[in-house]
Amino acid sequence: MKTLKYTLFFALATLLMAAECTKEDDEFYNAVYTTIPGLVNVETQTNYQVNDILWLNTNTFSRYLTEPNQSTPLDVFKTTNASKFSFLYSIEKKTSDNLWVSVANENNFIIESGSVSINNYITAFAIYNQVNEKYEFRGGIKLTEPGQFRIGFFAGYNGENFDVISDSSTSSTFLTIATTANSLSSGYYTFTVN
Amino acid sequence: MKKLFFLLLMLTQISFAQNDNAFDLGKNEIKFDLVSLVALGKIHVSYERFLKSDFSIGISGILNESNSLENDYVNGKSRTLEDYQIIPFVRYSLSKSQVRYYFIEVFVSANSGTYHELERLIDENNNGYYLSVDKKYSDFAIGGAVGHKFYIKEKIGIDIFVGMGKNLFSSGESPKIVSRVGINLGYRF
């Protein structure tokens, strides 16, 4: 009986210690998720030729955005104090094996405003402009060869669209905006370069 | 520090061999948790009344005076900041010895503090923005703990315990879980 008591005691103690060590009372609270469509624009053309540049921009990404179910615009700069927002996309070419491979690299990518980090995908940073109160990005890929291409975006927090995320400091509110781009079909803009 | 509690709990089982004869140690004990003060910046005092050789009741008070916890809260690293807890408890000894025993505890905790909540506010230009605002919470938790207790020179009690409780009325304001951890140094009379 005594052994059973102590076995139960130590089992309970171990359980409580494990629970103490893993409990998360302070779940991350300082984040806002919202949906605001149309923040990214693909500058589409009717036809594409080799050496054309396909641009992508955030010209509509104002500091003040219309938020669903709210009667007043959302001031994203005041909310986040963020100097930039980021989003991910890819530019891929279809190979003869019907595979899609990334074609963006630092040699064929042109930045007009904002900045990028290019790996297998492109991380675009729209940087806040205090003069026109917009988060600005305009980047283009030079189409150096013919073929079938596509621009793709990664599914966002809501399982669709894609996310534009504030680069907030710890003490500021983190804002994630599920947004859309024009001319997408199933998350991709597909085009042919002649 | 929680791992240290557990280690001490284990070690005292084998390192502290003392006479198990029952004798009258007194029915009251006041105690102070030095470790909570040093490690967590919390003032934790308790009173325990021994009703039978294996059964006692008591009450603990915890006051948070921790600068580091407050800084974490102010800097947004934690969502809640506890102000105080008042914890009535009952303990049942699992051992026959009165000078060295393991115990289980059931407690309730009236706890209060401050928490961050995001609110959508409207500025003077009629634009909305989200801001973290501070609000007060009060809640009532019920929970359990286990621990080990032993006496030095029949008067100085040391109890090491770990446990946790669940806040009953939390809907995002108060912490879901309250801790019950400490190493008490007490005087029995």
Q: What is the ipTM of this complex?
A: 0.81
> Scanning the structure block, which residue is given the tokens 């470790």?
B35
Q: What are phi and psi of A76, to 5 degrees?
A: -75, -30
Mutation pick from B68, B111, B129 vs chain A, by most beta carbons of A within 10 Å, is: B129
- For the stretch A79-113, pLDDT in tens is 999 999 999 999 999 998 889 999 988 899 999 99
Please, which pLDDT band fits residue B25 given cuts at 50, 70 and 90? Answer: confident
Chain B: residue nearest A34 by CA?
Answer: B130
Cα separation, B78 vs A184, in Å, equals: 40
Opening angle at CA A92, ends A86 and A94, nearest 5: 165
Q: What are phi and psi of A109, to 5 degrees?
A: -110, 135
The residues on B that touch A, with CB distances below 8 Å, are 2-3, 5-6, 9, 75-80, 94, 102, 104, 116-118, 120, 122-123, 126-132, 144-146, 162-164, 175-177, 179, 181
Q: Which residues of A touch B6 (CB under 8 A)?
A: 13-14, 17
Q: Which residues of A touch B9 (CB under 8 A)?
A: 13
How big is the A-B interface in CB pairs under 8 Å? 98
State whether B146 and A16 contact (CB < 8 Å). yes
Q: What are phi and psi of A114, to 5 degrees?
A: 80, -160
Q: What pTM does this model have?
A: 0.72
Instruction: Using a pLDDT cut of 90, give the percent of chain A over it.
Output: 70
